[in-house]
Amino acid sequence: MSETRATEPALLGLEGLTKAYPGVLANDDVSFAIRPGEIHALLGENGAGKSTLVKMIYGLVRPDRGRMTMRGAPFAPVSPAAARAEGVAMVFQHFSLFEALNVAENIALGMDQPPPPRELASRIREVSTAYGLPLDPDRRVGDLSAGERQRVEIIRCLLQDPKLLIMDEPTSVLTPQEVEILFRTLRKLAGEGTAILYISHKLEEIRALCEHATILRLGRVVDTCDPREKSARELAEMMVGEELHVPVREAGAPGEVALELCGLSMPPASEFGTPLRDISLTLRKGEVLGIGGVAGNGQDELLAALSGESLAPAGTIRLARRDISRLQPNQRRALGLLAAPEERLGHAAAPDMSLTENALLTGAVRERLTRRGFIDWAGARAFASRIIEAFDVRTPGPEVAARALSGGNLQKFVIGREVLQAPDVLVVNQPTWGVDASAAAAIRQALLDLAGRGAAVVAISQDLDELMEISDRFTALNEGRLAEPRPARGLNVEEIGLMMGGAHDLEASA
Amino acid sequence: MDLTSINPVLLVASLMVAATPILLAAIGELVVERAGVLNLGVEGMMITGAVVGFAIGVNTGSPALGFVAAAAGGAALSLLFGLLTQYLLSNQVATGLALTLFGLGLSSLIGKPYEGIKSPTLQKLDLGPLGDLPIVGPILFGHDPMVYVSLLMVLGVWWGLKHTRAGLILRAVGENHDAAHALGYKVVRVRMAAIAFGGACAGLGGAYISLVRVPQWVEGLTAGAGWIALAIVVFASWRPWRALLGAYLFGGVTVLQLNLQAAGLAIPVEYLSMSPYVVTILVLVLISARGRHGAPGALGRLFHGTG
């Protein structure tokens, strides 16, 4: 089938696309072509220029140089509406649904000439059922699961009958079962002649789905390949441009109980949050417990309950057999329980404060950086410098504001700050989210080393590959409930998916 | 004290008049906030509308022209706010507060020559036999046109937000401006239009005080009505019909306490005068305690489009 396609004229052709932003060349002379019915992967690390490129195709950004063609004719969309008129549709990674509006309203906003509400509702039902992605047009998007929200985006695109469908990191919030359903839908679309430009950094998925890949690094096309013929590791090294360091762990036998949760229940942290329901758990010294699950199933609430940001009912959290449920974060830090929340800017670090000040904020207690209420600036600076050195944080120095660091460097700083305080229990949420591959490997190695030294680590993450790499035991959060932890070794994708809640309500229609 | 001197029919009729300026300003601010912009300059725009409307009303002898000019004046002032916050990305809270101070100063400058003059005022609409109906007549059919305009405005805003594409886009922009931008909607343009509408409504509200309710010009005439309008938007959980309810509740307490003062209630006048504000604060506290507010997701956040 691909042989016959090779002779077909390209649907979308890119020639020498270049786009510069102040200080960065986001895209540098990018050329490739997509044929009808082809599933084409766009691979690259964060900052490789993938999103700038698709924004140009979708009319959100105009290229400085180069040209695009659509079915041989010049194509230069000045707005998303113009791109949609040419048959380009896009499913965004985030930023494109309105939580307070219902499904039909969300879909109408993505169409240029939406039909009257009643007709639209019936078309949504019809198309969504036809593609195995059932949707109720009247439900409020804020009440939908991540997988259902993505269906809204896909249906919004399908109603326009697109010729080219761009998907930006579509599976980052899906369970393995939901990914399978999505892939089935995409293959069906491709079979009907729709070209799909698929952006992801999940290499196994690209190998399973795509027949052609273009690899970007620092804004340039560095390679193209057929991903089905490469291993995930080869693909990763093409993206990074260097050999990848795979984290190794020193074996350490699990020791005595470090942390215990018994029947922990918590109300949701926000209007669209999830309550924690009756969570029980035992964690031993030297152990890494991986907690998977789709975003919004109680991860933030669990981190807040453990770190002390929200106080839990008495008797539900014990650190080394001592009840800490009603203790404040600093009291917990003093006892050896540290946490690194998900959001780097604004939660784990104060964006406009210097690295020294940020180091002080969580390190004051254990590193003794305050004396009688006065700050020991020399000590704080030394602590910040120690983190920078030990974790290879690329920054001019500790006086730089947290905001000025790249995501990967700030994340290394945030994790390093906690690891260097030698915690007995460390809780991390999304430790490598949006971090480039080499920084991610360094962070995972640091967590493993910490466990090797006898600390207990709770790693909450949506990256299953990461959890499989570092965890001794694996469990998953699903609607605020924690599955029974199981040894990570030997778990297969099917079992993991079921622990994450399976495909929610999708099985029947799939 | 003589409570029988309070006529319930007249009370209801006059509460509608008392509530109209706040209702006009609140419905405008509601649209602004649904578009995701927090304009704290309502008081400044109201009083600017009040003085501009009064000046034009006096000079032309036409209160209708006064209202048109007041709307234009309020909108012009609000566009200054829009320019600062939407294009120059200044902080909305600080800019809104500055707009109030600016409006108060500007109005006393413009209003100086008009102090002590009486303006032409709106005539009550003559609805023929409808006005002669018992009870219903004086309550519903004995008002000046602006009372009906304000009610139509509530209806129009409710209908527009719920049933038109423009309303849907406005809500989308206020809910998540990044998503709206990604879908190709002009966030800043939508917001500028909403801000101008809010300014025009605030101007009308102010002019209603100076041309109908009082009707003359004194410095600081609006006396905090703009702030009450802002509180009523929150009270209303950003819904038009609840804004009507809130405005009439506030108007009702205002009129009632005036009547009680006149009836000689044995409570110091100061306490009665503060009662509408106390009631507003209490209701706001009760509503906030319920948790879910339904505030637009992007309310007060700066939007900086790229590319």
Question: Is the pLDDT confidence value at A94 over 80?
Answer: no
Q: Flag whether B162 is in a domain.
A: yes
Q: What is the mean pLDDT of residues A11-37?
A: 90
What integer pLDDT is reported at residue B157 of this predicted model? 97
Say yes or no for a CB contact (<8 Å) between B175 and A61. no
pTM: 0.75
| Mean pLDDT for the stretch of residues A38-49 | 85
Mean pLDDT is lowest, of A253-262, A329-338, B44-53, B286-295, for B286-295
Total domains in chain B come to 1
Least CB-CB distance to A271: which of B168, B171, B292? B292
Contacts of B52 by beta carbon, 8 Å cutoff, 6+ apart: B66, B69, B70, B72, B73, B74, B110, B203, B207
pLDDT at A271: 67
Q: Is A496 exposed, middle or buried (0-12, 13-18, 19+ CB in 10 A)?
A: buried
CA pair distance A343, A350, nearest whole angstrom: 10
What pLDDT was estimated at residue A504?
Answer: 52
B248, B264, B215: which is closest to B6 by C-alpha?
A: B264
Across B131-143, average pLDDT: 81
Question: Can you tell me the distance from the alpha carbon of A114 to that of A127, in angstroms, rounded to the nearest whole number?
Answer: 15
CATH superfamily, domain at A2-240: P-loop containing nucleotide triphosphate hydrolases (3.40.50.300)
Whether the per-residue pLDDT at A421 is higher than 90: the answer is: yes
| pLDDT tens digits, one per residue of A115-159 | 888 899 999 999 888 887 888 999 998 888 777 888 888 888 888
Q: What is the pLDDT of residue A37?
A: 92
The distance from CA A500 to its chain's CA centroid, rounded to whole angstroms, is 16
Q: How high is the mean pLDDT of chain B? A: 90
Determine the residue of chain B that is closest to A104 in CA distance: B168
Distances (CA, A) of B180 to A97, B39, B174: 8, 21, 9
Q: How many residues does chain A have?
A: 510
- For A476, the enclosing helix (H) or strand (E) is strand A473-478
Quick one: pLDDT at residue A157?
87
More confident residue, B180 or A254: B180
At A2, the pLDDT band (50, 70, 90 cuts) reads very low
What pLDDT band is residue A1 in, cutting at 50, 70 and 90?
Answer: very low
Q: Determine the pLDDT at residue A158.
A: 87
Q: How far are the Cα atoms of A290, A374, B182 from residue A434, in angstroms, in the given order? A: 18, 36, 20
pLDDT at A475 over 80: yes
Give the rounded percent of residues in chain A with a pLDDT score beyond 70. Answer: 93
Q: How far is CA A344 from the centre of its chain?
A: 13
Question: Which pLDDT score, from 0 to 100, does residue B272 have?
Answer: 85
Reduce the secondary structure of A258-318 to three states and give it as a string.
EEEEEEEEECCCCCCCCCEEEEEEEEECCCEEEEECCCCCCHHHHHHHHHCCCCCCCCCEE
Are A95 and B172 in contact (CB < 8 Å)?
Answer: no
- Residues from chain B contacting residue A95 (CB–CB below 8 Å): 176, 178-179, 182
Does residue A275 carry a pLDDT above 80?
yes
How confident is the prediction for chain A on average, in pLDDT? 86
Helix, strand, coil percentages, rounded to 5, for chain A: 35, 25, 40
Interface contact flag, B171 A100, Cβ < 8 Å? yes
Do B179 and A114 make contact, defined as CB atoms within 8 angstroms? Answer: no
Q: What is the pLDDT of residue A117?
A: 87
Lowest pLDDT segment from A87-101, B51-65, B75-89: A87-101
Q: Which of the four pLDDT bands, split at 50, 70 and 90, describes residue B286?
A: confident
Among B64-68, B136-140, B237-241, the minimum mean pLDDT is found in: B136-140
**A252 pLDDT higher than 70:** no
Query: In chain A, positions 39-68, which contact chain B (CB-CB < 8 Å)?
Result: 55, 59-62
pLDDT per residue over B115-126, tens digit each? 988 888 888 877
**Cα A77 from Cα A82, distance rounded (Å):** 5
Does residue B293 have a pLDDT over 70?
A: no
Read off the DSSP letter of residue A474. Answer: E
Q: Given CB atoms, is B172 within the 8 Å cutoff of chain A?
A: yes
Mean pLDDT of A387-409: 87
Give the residue from chain B lying closest to A106, CA to CA. B172
Task: Yes or no: say if A346 and A402 are a contact pair by the CB < 8 Å rule.
Answer: no
pLDDT score of A59 more than 80? yes
- Domain spans in chain A, listed from the N-terminal domain onward: 2-240, 257-509
Residue in chain A nearest B173 by alpha carbon: A98
Q: What is the pLDDT of residue A21?
A: 83
Nearest Cα residue in chain B from A81 = B184
Neighbour count for residue A376 (Cβ, 10 Å): 16
Distance from C-alpha of B275 to C-alpha of B256, rounded to nearest angstrom: 10
For residue A173, the model assigns a pLDDT of 67
- Residue A474 reports pLDDT greater than 80: yes
| Tally of residues, chain B | 307
Among the listed ranges A21-30, A259-268, A324-333, which one has the minimum average pLDDT value?
A21-30
Q: What is the pLDDT of residues B228-263, one digit of tens each?
A: 999 999 888 899 999 999 999 999 988 888 888 888
Position A502 pLDDT exceeds 80: no
For residue A8, the model assigns a pLDDT of: 67
Q: A257-509 belongs to which CATH class?
A: alpha beta
**Could you give the 3-state DSSP secondary structure of residue A370?**
strand
**Per residue in A444-458, pLDDT tens?**
999 999 998 999 999
Mean pLDDT of B3-9: 78
For the ranges A86-95, A408-417, B135-144, the one whose mean pLDDT is highest: A408-417
Give me the percent of chain B exceeding a pLDDT of 90. 62
**Measured between alpha carbons, how far is A316 from A263 in angstroms, rounded to an integer?**
6
- The Cα–Cα gap between B55 and A16 comes to 63
Closest CA to B197 of B95, B103, B76: B76
Q: Say if residue A414 is exposed, middle or buried (CB neighbours under 10 Å; 0-12, 13-18, 19+).
A: buried
Contact A62 B307 (CB under 8 A): yes
At residue A145, the pLDDT reads 73
| Distance between start and end Cα atoms, chain A | 26
A14 strand-pairing partners? A32, A68
User: pLDDT tens for residues A202-219?
Assistant: 788 888 899 999 999 888
**Would residue B285 count as lying in a domain?**
no
Q: How far, in Å, CA of A106 to CA of A138, rounded?
A: 10
On the question of a common fold for A2-240 and A257-509, the answer reads yes
**CA B70, CA B221: separation in Å to the nearest integer?**
14
